[in-house]
Amino acid sequence: MKKLLMASAATALIAGAAAADDVKIGVILGFTGPIESLTPAMAGGAELAMKEVSDSGKFMGGSTVTPVRADSTCVDAAAATAAAERLITSDGVKGIMGADCSGVTGAVLSNVAVPNGVVMISPSATSPGLSTVEDQGMFFRTSPSDARQGQVMAEVLIEQGYKSAALTYANNDYGKGLSDSIASAFKALGGEITVTTSHELGKADYSAEVGTLASGGGDILIVAGYVDQGGPDIIRTSIDTGAFDVFALPDGMIGAALEDNFGDEIEGSIGTVPGSEAADSSMVVKMVAETGADATGPYIGESYDAAALIMLAMQAAGSTDSADYAAKIMDVANAPGEMIKPGELGKALEILAAGGEIDYVGATAVELIGGGEAAGGYREIVINGGKITTAKYR
Amino acid sequence: MDFLNGLVALSNFVLIPAMAYGSQLALGALGVTLIYGILRFSNFAHGDTMAFGAMVTVLVTWLFQSMGISLGPLPTALLALPFGILGTMALVLLTDRMVYKFYRDQKAKPVILVIVSMGVMFIMNGLVRFIIGPNDQKFADGERFIISVREFKAMTGLREGLAIKTTQGLTVVTAVIVVALLFWFLNRTRTGKSMRAYSDNEDLALLSGINPERVVMYTWLIVAALATVAGVLYGLDKTFKPFTYFQLLLPIFASAIVGGLGNPLGAIAGGFVIAFSEVTITYAWKKVLVYWMPESLEPSGLVQLMSTDYKFAVSFVILIIVLLFKPTGLFQGKSV
């Protein structure tokens, strides 16, 4: 018994001294559910950053990083909580890249991450509610709050000459938060929201919802929903019944499935996705596409950055313990220091190991503000010739 | 002109969808009502029997599509439908042999059979999701519209458009044919008559030499065909997703009970009553009323009685009202 105790004490010491070992980081995304077509590439982005760090051999004295995937389901808070619990208690992850959708992210954060004291960086949870959530300094996101997206969407609509719009949202945290912020921003700019209806995900028939939206009327239909469930059915029914033929689509609706399903049937429709001109996620997107994942969706660069931030902060703190490195995340993400682009993680690790400072730019021009969320640049897209094309950056 | 515009808008958003939905409910309710009338229990597995039939049809449709067989402007699924029906017949006969027969021989009370059918429901539900997965499956092909909004506007010059999808037209036509066949079978053929006799008075039917096992078998076969047709039409018109059939159970039962359980005519009427009330009560009437009302009375609000979220609540309320005032349903079925 004494020997065993000695041995375990020794192991603990070695681990604490950051000898070369294997650090696990959780990747919890909705691999099943309403955004399942987007998540493989997002996970690919995060795993790309981990591979880059492992391959550099400069992380925490030669440690490697292993991703552990878990399914957040995007909508089922109980399932997501159980999956995250498993990551921490049985897989022993030191940080969590995720979750994806706002509702499950809030649930995982308050039920698992905060009680266990594990850092969590979401690449895509954009609900304004998460800005003020009680997170004990454990929660960050590399995507901006939807309060900002609502503003941008409203500006795009007004500039394109749309004065009145019908609005439907997926009935959950993400949809409700986004629809509120779009509606208030649009009204402030002089637009009129003729009707607002929610829609449940995964129903077979949305003709009643579309009937109501058509009754309200308007120049355009704003669909604050998801590209794999609900959203496409609403658009399909609207086109079929002639209720609307142009649509305004926030980030959850932008993905390759949109082009596949509708092509030029929704010609002229507009959308907004996080992204900025200074940001260059092309390298990450290209590398992820090479792994065979469908890399046309959003949030791939954000996922890369979320994973990179966790590892860089660990390096800066010289510890994989969340309590130690959580405070370092804002430091590595923001100025001052050397600018770090994607693919330069090895260089960043070297600077940090030498005690220098870095300003992580990454794939999405990361700049964390407030309680640790991205300041938020947006890409305005337009459906042109049946393809999603970039109109400009805002 | 305004009157016509209003009428077209009403047809486009209310009448046509409700007609199609009503036909689908009616076909589903017919199956439920036949089981109730002849086997004397409420079959909760009916929704998932529909899902199973639709699933077999979807799989055969995919096979045909990969072999390049098609029906031109009509969906290939129509060609696959008989295979779906055969598959479902095999499944329900198997469950009857393995599960229901045991309880029938024991002369189990109807309430026990109801619970048993719930167990069957969960197993079928799992089976379908195990085979085809829980996701949406698209299997509709052929011409999408009988008349599309753009064509209609160009043809009539009206401001409002009208769309009739091929699947909506097909649903109504198929429902009419199936119902006509069923009534011919029940009223004119020997087997049909023996089924009605068995339903009216079991003991008397047995005394006059009707073989109960045969009646039970024919009932299941007819129910399998009805369920598959209903399931495939619903899947074609909306989308095939296993879980939605489970949710359909409520409006289907509401239809059967409102019409009068055990009464086929009642099931059809009930289907349309439920479908039209669900759609009209949750519809926002502004679009139509703007055309119909004089300018001074035009509504500024949406004129919507209830948000669309309460669609299923409408079936519940109608169900309760009918049970309170007419426990045997509109068409004098058996009391529940």
Listed residue (A22, A2, A39, A58) closest to A228, CA to CA: A39
User: How much is the mean pLDDT over chain A?
Assistant: 88
Report pLDDT for A1: 53
CATH topology classification for A147-277+377-393: Rossmann fold (3.40.50)
Asked whether residue B330 carries a pLDDT value surpassing 90, the answer given is no
Q: How far apart are CA A124 and CA A99, in angstroms?
A: 8
pLDDT at A373: 86
- The pLDDT assigned to B132 comes to 92
Mutation site for A-interface testing, chosen from B308, B312, B314, B315 by largest number of A Cβ within 10 Å: B308
Cβ partners under 8 Å of residue B188, min gap 6: none
pLDDT of residue A19: 52
- Interface contact flag, B286 A216, Cβ < 8 Å: yes
Phi then psi for residue A224, to 5 deg, are: -90, 75
The reply to whether A197 touches chain B by the CB within 8 Å rule is yes
The average pLDDT across B137-142 equals 86
Q: What are the domain boundaries of chain A?
A: 2-143+280-366, 147-277+377-393
Instruction: Report the alpha-carbon distance of residue A98 to residue B177 in Å, rounded.
Output: 54
pLDDT, position A66: 94
Task: Report residue A314 as tokens.
Answer: 């660990």
Q: Is the CB of B287 less than 8 angstroms away from the CB of A197?
A: no
How confident is the model over A217-238, as a mean pLDDT?
A: 90
Confidence of residue B336 (pLDDT cuts 50, 70, 90): very low
- On the 0-12 / 13-18 / 19+ scale of CB atoms within 10 A, B154 is exposed
> A2 vs B246, which has greater pLDDT?
B246
B291 touches chain A (CB under 8 A): no
List of residues 6+ apart from A135 with CB closer than 8 A = A109, A113, A114, A371
pLDDT of A28 > 50? The answer is yes
Mean pLDDT score across all residues of chain B = 89
- Could you tell me the pTM of the whole model? 0.78
Span A330-369, pLDDT tens digits = 989 988 888 898 889 999 999 999 988 999 988 888 888 8
**pLDDT tens, A73-132?**
999 999 999 999 999 999 999 999 989 999 999 999 999 999 999 999 999 998 888 888
Q: Which residues of A touch B148 (CB under 8 A)?
A: 240
Nearest CA-CA partner of B254 in B272, B280, B231, B234: B272
Q: Rounded CA gap, A128 and A132, in Å?
A: 8
Contact A204 B307 (CB under 8 A): no
ipTM: 0.83
Alpha-carbon gap, residue A24 to A88, rounded angstroms = 10
pLDDT of A206 over the 50 cut: yes
**Which chain B residues contact residue A209 at CB under 8 A?**
308
With an 8 Å Cβ cutoff, is B287 touching chain A? yes
At residue A78, the pLDDT reads: 94
Distance from C-alpha of A329 to C-alpha of B282, rounded to nearest angstrom: 50
Distances (CA, A) of A56 to A49, A62, A63, A257, A362: 11, 8, 10, 36, 17
Cα distances from A309 to residues A119, A306, A369, in angstroms, run: 11, 5, 14
Contact across the interface for B309 and A215, Cβ inside 8 Å: no
pLDDT at A12 over 80: no
Q: Do A215 and B278 touch (CB under 8 A)?
A: no
| pLDDT band for position A217 (cuts 50, 70, 90) | confident
Q: Rg of chain A's alpha carbons, rounded to an integer? A: 22
What pLDDT sits at residue A2? 58
Structure tokens at A260: 């596949």
Q: What is the pLDDT of residue B182?
A: 93
Residue A236: pLDDT over 50: yes
Q: How far apart are CA B317 and CA B331, in angstroms?
A: 18
Selected for mutation to probe chain A from B13, B136, B250 (highest A CB count within 10 Å) is B13
What is the rounded end-to-end Cα distance, in angstroms, of chain A? 64
CATH node for B2-325: 1.10.3470
Predicted pLDDT at B323:
85
CB pairs < 8 Å spanning A and B: 81
The pair of three-digit structure tokens given for residue A250, joined into one six-digit string? 């926030």
- Residue A136: both structure tokens together: 């004990």
Structure tokens at A146: 């939807």
Nearest to A33 by CA among A103, A126, A135, A138: A103
Domain locations in chain B as residue ranges: 2-325
Q: If pLDDT is split at 50, 70 and 90, which confidence band does A10 have?
A: low
Alpha-carbon distances of B165 from A260, B37, B149, B298, B306, rounded to whole Å: 21, 35, 10, 31, 27
DSSP 8-state class, residue A279: -
pLDDT for position A94: 93
Please provide residue A38's backbone torsions phi and psi, each rounded to the nearest 5 degrees.
Answer: -90, -30
State mean pLDDT over B48-66: 95
Beta strands in B49-208 (DSSP E): 145-147, 164-165
Using the predicted structure, report yes or no on whether residue A312 has a pLDDT greater than 90.
yes
**pLDDT exceeds 80 at position A4:** no
Judged against a pLDDT cut of 70, whether residue A20 lies above it is answered with no
Which tens digit of pLDDT belongs to each residue from A36-90? 888 999 999 999 999 999 999 999 888 999 999 999 999 999 999 999 999 999 9
Q: Which residues of A touch B14 (CB under 8 A)?
A: 211
Q: Which fold has domain A2-143+280-366?
A: Rossmann fold (3.40.50)
Say yes or no to pLDDT of B298 above 80.
no
Q: DSSP characters for B187-208? A: HHSHHHHHHHHHHH-HHHHHHT
> What pLDDT band is residue B318 in, cutting at 50, 70 and 90?
confident
Mind listing the pLDDT tens digit for each residue in A151-188? 889 999 999 899 999 999 998 888 998 999 999 999 99
Q: How confident is the model at residue B303 (pLDDT cuts 50, 70, 90)?
A: confident
